[in-house]
């Protein structure tokens, strides 16, 4: 039974145990002002919300419950660039680290709703709560599954001789480790006694270090024909260095392609139109194609120079969005599935 099915089962069980589960009027219930009087702190985490409807009140209670936790993940990538250029070569390296800062308002697992009450002004007040022990059991199961996956990915990274597959496995392991850290932070609030047994035995920092070291071994050569001013070159360098790779030779990967921006000859009273074309291919050093990106379009502006600038900006946005998406999908495709 997976994590979410267990959560649903617990929700059904708890709903049969706790009173309420309907909107009532009458005098102000004690839980509106002091929810812990009805939901003892040693058994539950609880919050109250209000709104014009029961759904709105429950959503408000959920948000108030989530504020107890430090929870929303934001990745602050700090990139230290070092560039070296000579007559015949250009090399750029980065030291990257993703600091996972935990902020507020992550969706929590296993939130339950019980009583609701309508006051004299028609406002609905509702309860949201977590059963500490039941929720802790769900979190321990999820953490155990994630730890097994991280261990599987670590072994995969150690055993493969392929550098790109090693990077892909470590990258996936770091993502899973970060998710586990989030769950552990939540579990520490929900049920502190469960944390020691649920804590993985691997080092997340060592995983990140191994990922960074592997990334630095992946050199990428970039060649774009027609790229006057190196605008496409620069955005591609920024893209690959965000993965921790090194721009230079000898290359493990190569990005080759061409770009062109030409006057269409279509002019109106106040606009000049240009047509742009971009063709890029990510390939292994032996020429084996891995990813391709082809874009064509038209831009217009008050002058030819401004239309060209807008076209380059459009292409930069396409590379940053589509390029990242396709690289992510490629590295994810290199990971062997975990046996069931």
- List, as one string, the DSSP characters of 122-150: S-EEEEEEEEHHHHHHHHHHHHHHHHHHH
Number of domains, the chain? 3
pTM for this predicted structure: 0.76
Q: What is the DSSP letter of 229?
A: G
**Does residue 225 share a domain with residue 205?**
no
Do residues 280 and 255 touch, judged by C-beta distance below 8 A? yes
Asked if residue 258 belongs to a domain, the reply is: yes
Instruction: List Cα–Cα distances, 311 to 22, 64, 265, in angstroms.
Output: 58, 46, 16
pLDDT of residue 193: 95
Asked if residue 173 belongs to a domain, the reply is: yes
What's the average model confidence in pLDDT over 64-87? 50
Crossing angle of helices 132-159/163-190, nearest 10°?
A: 160
Nearest to 150 by CA among 183, 167, 165, 172: 172
Do residues 172 and 153 touch, judged by C-beta distance below 8 A? yes
Rounded to the nearest 10 degrees, how much is the dihedral formed by the CA atoms of 271, 272, 273, 278? -120
**Averaged pLDDT score across all residues of the chain:** 83
Do residues 298 and 271 touch, judged by C-beta distance below 8 A? no
Nearest to 125 by CA among 256, 25, 201: 25
**Does residue 247 share a domain with residue 148?**
no
Residue scoring higher pLDDT (110 or 44): 44
**Does residue 127 share a domain with residue 10?**
yes
pLDDT band at 10 (very low <50, low <70, confident <90, very high): very low
Radius of gyration, CA atoms only, the chain: 27
Taking 80 as the threshold, does the pLDDT of residue 11 lie above it? no
Which of 26-40, 74-88, 193-207 is predicted least confidently? 74-88
Domain CATH code at residue 286: 3.30.160.150
Q: What is the DSSP letter of 269?
A: S
pLDDT of residue 264: 84
pLDDT of residue 162: 95
Do residues 203 and 151 touch, judged by C-beta distance below 8 A? no
Asked if residue 59 belongs to a domain, the reply is: yes
pLDDT band at 295 (very low <50, low <70, confident <90, very high): very high
Taking 80 as the threshold, does the pLDDT of residue 79 lie above it? no
Taking 80 as the threshold, does the pLDDT of residue 61 lie above it? yes
Q: Which of 216, 249, 269 is the last residue of a domain?
A: 216
pLDDT of residue 89: 42
What's the average model confidence in pLDDT over 238-242? 94
Asked if residue 339 belongs to a domain, the reply is: no
Taking 50 as the threshold, does the pLDDT of residue 207 lie above it? yes
* Domain carrying residue 271: 219-333
Taking 90 as the threshold, does the pLDDT of residue 173 lie above it? yes
pLDDT of residue 317: 93
Which of 36-50, 55-69, 87-101, 184-198 is predicted least confidently? 87-101
Q: What is the DSSP letter of 194?
A: G
CA 224 to CA 238: how far, in whole Å? 15
Q: What is the DSSP letter of 243?
A: T
Do residues 276 and 304 touch, judged by C-beta distance below 8 A? no
Taking 80 as the threshold, does the pLDDT of residue 77 lie above it? no
């Amino acid at each position: 039974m997976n994590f979410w099915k267990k959560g649903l089962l617990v929700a059904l069980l708890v709903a049969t145990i706790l009173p309420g589960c309907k909107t009532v009027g009458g005098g102000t219930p004690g839980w509106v002002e002091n929810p812990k009087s009805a939901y003892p702190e040693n058994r539950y985490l609880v919050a109250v919300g209000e709104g014009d409807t029961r759904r709105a009140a429950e959503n408000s209670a959920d948000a108030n419950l989530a504020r107890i936790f430090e929870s929303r993940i934001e990745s602050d990538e700090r990139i230290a660039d070092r560039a070296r250029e000579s007559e015949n070569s250009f090399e750029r390296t980065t030291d990257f680290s993703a600091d996972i800062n935990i902020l507020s308002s992550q969706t929590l697992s296993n939130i339950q709703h019980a009583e609701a009450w309508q006051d004299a002004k028609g406002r609905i007040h509702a309860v949201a709560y977590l059963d500490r022990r039941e929720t802790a059991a769900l979190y321990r199961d999820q953490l155990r599954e994630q730890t097994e996956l991280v261990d599987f990915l670590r072994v995969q990274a150690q055993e493969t001789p392929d550098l790109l597959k090693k990077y892909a496995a470590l990258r996936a392991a770091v993502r899973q480790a970060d998710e586990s850290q989030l769950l552990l932070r939540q579990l520490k609030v929900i049920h502190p006694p469960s944390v020691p047994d649920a804590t993985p035995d691997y080092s997340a920092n060592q995983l990140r270090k191994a990922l960074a070291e592997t990334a630095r071994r992946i050199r990428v050569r970039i060649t774009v024909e027609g790229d006057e001013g190196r605008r496409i070159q620069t955005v591609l360098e920024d893209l690959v260095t965000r993965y921790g790779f090194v721009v230079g030779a000898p290359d493990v990967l190569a990005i080759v392609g061409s770009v062109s921006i030409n006057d269409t000859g279509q002019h109106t009273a106040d606009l000049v139109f240009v047509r742009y074309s971009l063709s890029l291919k990510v390939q292994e050093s032996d020429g084996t194609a891995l990813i391709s990106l082809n874009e064509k379009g038209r831009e217009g502006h008050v002058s030819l120079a401004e239309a060209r600038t807008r076209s380059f900006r459009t292409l930069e946005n396409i590379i940053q969005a589509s390029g990242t998406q396709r690289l992510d999908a490629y590295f994810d495709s290199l990971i062997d599935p975990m046996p069931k």
